[in-house]
Structure 1
């Protein structure tokens, strides 16, 4: 069995390379599809096969292809029904307005990936599986479609609710749907985990995202980030090395805007309301959870305005920035929301999320992990989008917001979810996840992650 991985950045390369070396010891053959040219020598020197996407990218780009025709052809070939959803993630993330630029990127990626997967097919026949982190970037999406077009399975790694464990999501962009098993004995370590999280009011932060949970000043005045900025500038302009995250200008602009907004918002920040309130926590605007899984709600400002008009009399709507992206929301849109809706309370982002959850009357979310954290605390939750918990009997899932007012009123009148049912859900979640932490390269984590992959492959492919 041949296992191939995609890498988009240096931290991903170190992790997937370590996995490959460990899996090779276990008898698997491995390779890495690289969207990060700076990593290629490191991978090759370690003895792992590396496919350089940008080598073919450059060759195909020189052919002056008719991009519109080529893009239409690949949509037909791979039966992609809604191409603008594919483009939307990078438009939001990298602030790109030019659709032709993105279509060209997809076309060239597809051509490179078709060559690589054809090569894998000649060598390994049908015994190939693609593993990659869930994402909406052109690299990830293109790899998914080409692998599926060749008949290969695509397994997405996605951090789960439990720290140090992952979902393996097979052949879909949709979230893993946890199936509640009421006959499964509750694991003592699961109960201990939940009780500890409830008592200490801790949030689950994957190690790969820990650096995002900082004040905007610390993100800019940060030795590591400054070093990486100069490395990216050197690689892009002096070494002519390409990578997926090569939009340096948008990266710098976003961080400056985050810092600016953090100070502009100070006069609007408020404490937790003393009266009854519904809570809507902001999602990361450029997260695949919105752009691909819940595109209807990409414009969260419109959604917040709509919610504020659907909450019952006597309630306010508390909103709060995502702790990993404080300042990334748009100042003008927030100012406009607050000026038109006196029942909206813009919470200070320094307030602990669990403090808000323990005092709210209802949480309303698209598919945020705050929904799972609120459920863990025994709170009422309405979920509007595609989430791993939206099939739980303890969550009110609303797939049509036309009647949102009725759903909110019903949820507020109903009793809180049963703690035994909640424990069953999280016990089921735990049993359906796999040990491993993305992009954490300790020997123990690499050994555990590679074992999880090996066990999954053996269980699903018998090899």
Structure 2
């Protein structure tokens, strides 16, 4: 028995296709739906659905909800709501606490309903309250929750059990054939291809093209009509926020043009690739570094020398970094801003050291034999190729003594490590709805279920 959460219509069409294949193979499927259109679609296809908008919970205020959550052994409420508050810039904390409580109850309800069938829960990894609440409800009901997220390798994904932490990669070599992995890595290095998950490719458009995107126009009018005229609930129903955000990103992109430093003008520098602001990789995995610009400022304060730190916005969110804070950092510290048009591999080639919270750029830097310092929780944090930083004060001596370090990684060791990364991932892309991709993804889910006796 499998319980799947869906937060939006585009997710639902994907999961519906997967669920039909799994059902034809004897698996019973039920859904947690946080979108009214999704609920209608799933029920038309005869799937059991627990709908967020239909689910009723006891009337309570914020303090009562916190107390009731504590009874469920959920004490760190701030941790579970941080992502949603930051992502949508929500000021009404109480409403999100109540939403968390409702999500927990809703998840417990469906888990307990199907408890005799030994259910498991499958969710895309994310920090929204609908996801964290569903996990906490499953955890409270002793139901295992499996999180799916894109792997380092394009067209593959990780599955992590009962944890928002980065996947742990086995240190012992387990893969039998290195050829496929070796060819993939060689091709990536030769082409300088940055891995973009299929589900996120639209995010990599420039802000102006996000605004002028016909699909986005259509979705804007549809979501507005659904929300305000039909009263349909949407978990991603912050329509005004999204519109303002896209326009602000466009304006910020224009304002930042005069602040870019040319890569060829930099010599000895630390490269700090910026994350998507408010991404779950920060809010859940490394919340202490959520304010990335402040982290950089703190590092500069600790440095006694004039070390240059070069930063580059994530290509999926050009212009999303707070302009005033970024401008202040650039004008008051030894920080340089690189244009996001720079290829990541070109920046890695030029950098003397790579400092990352948990970006995939850290893994790419391993392939380039770079000195790497990791602040947060990444799948490569425990590998032999990086330096795990416990205190910011450890960064400067590491950088200054870089010439004394042996950075000539054994190619076979690197290949075996990434072979393990490959081996611990599964073939498939989330939210790619072509028939062949659906079959591919469904086969991987079946493989995982059989391997783990689910």
TM-score of Structure 1 vs Structure 2, range by shorter chain: over 0.9
CA distance, structure 2, for counterparts of residue 173 and residue 44 of structure 1:
30
Task: Show the counterpart of 1:435.
Answer: 427
Alpha carbons of 1:326 and 1:448: their partners in 2 closer, same or farther (altered >3 Å)? same
CA distance, structure 1, for counterparts of residue 393 and residue 305 of structure 2:
19
Q: Deviations over 1:245-304 (max 9, x none)?
A: 111122112111101100111111111133111100100112110001100000111111
1:162 paired to 2:153: yes
CA distance, structure 1, for counterparts of residue 266 and residue 272 of structure 2:
16
Task: Show the counterpart of 1:366.
Answer: 357
Task: Show the counterpart of 1:7.
Answer: 6
1:90 to 84, 90, 101: 84
Residue correspondences, number: 452
Pairwise CA distance, 1:411: 4.5
Task: Show the counterpart of 2:67.
Answer: 72
1:256 paired to 2:250: no
Q: Deviations over 1:85-126 (max 9, x none)?
A: 1121011101012211111111222232222222222xxx15
CA distance, structure 2, for counterparts of residue 451 and residue 127 of structure 1:
21
Contact 1:85–1:292 (CA under 8 A) maintained in structure 2: yes
Task: Show the counterpart of 1:42.
Answer: 41
1:383 to 354, 359, 374: 374
> Normalised by the size of structure 2, how large is the TM-score?
0.96
CA distance, structure 2, for counterparts of residue 330 and residue 438 of structure 1:
30
CA distance, structure 1, for counterparts of residue 309 and residue 262 of structure 2:
13
SS of residue matched to 1:55: coil
SS of residue matched to 2:53: helix
> Normalised by the size of structure 1, how large is the TM-score?
0.94
CA distance, structure 2, for counterparts of residue 390 and residue 398 of structure 1:
9
Contact 1:289–1:367 (CA under 8 A) maintained in structure 2: yes
Task: Show the counterpart of 2:186.
Answer: 195
CA distance, structure 2, for counterparts of residue 126 and residue 49 of structure 1:
14
CA distance, structure 1, for counterparts of residue 279 and residue 186 of structure 2:
29
Contact 1:310–1:404 (CA under 8 A) maintained in structure 2: no
Pairwise CA distance, 1:67: 2.6
Pairwise CA distance, 1:421: 1.9
Contact 1:165–1:436 (CA under 8 A) maintained in structure 2: yes
SS of residue matched to 1:334: helix
Q: CA RMSD in A?
A: 1.6
Within 5 Å, give how 1:257-272 maps onto structure 2.
Answer: 257-272=248-263
CA distance, structure 1, for counterparts of residue 35 and residue 67 of structure 2:
27
1:298 to 290, 298, 316: 290
Task: Show the counterpart of 2:268.
Answer: 276
CA distance, structure 2, for counterparts of residue 176 and residue 299 of structure 1:
23
Contact 1:384–1:399 (CA under 8 A) maintained in structure 2: yes
1:424 paired to 2:416: yes
CA distance, structure 1, for counterparts of residue 164 and residue 288 of structure 2:
15
Tell me whether 179-188 or 331-340 shows the greater mean CA deviation.
Answer: 179-188
Tell me whether 396-405 or 135-144 shows the greater mean CA deviation.
Answer: 396-405
Within 5 Å, give how 1:301-316 maps onto structure 2.
Answer: 301-310=293-302, 313=305, 315-316=307-308
1:107 to 90, 95, 101: 101
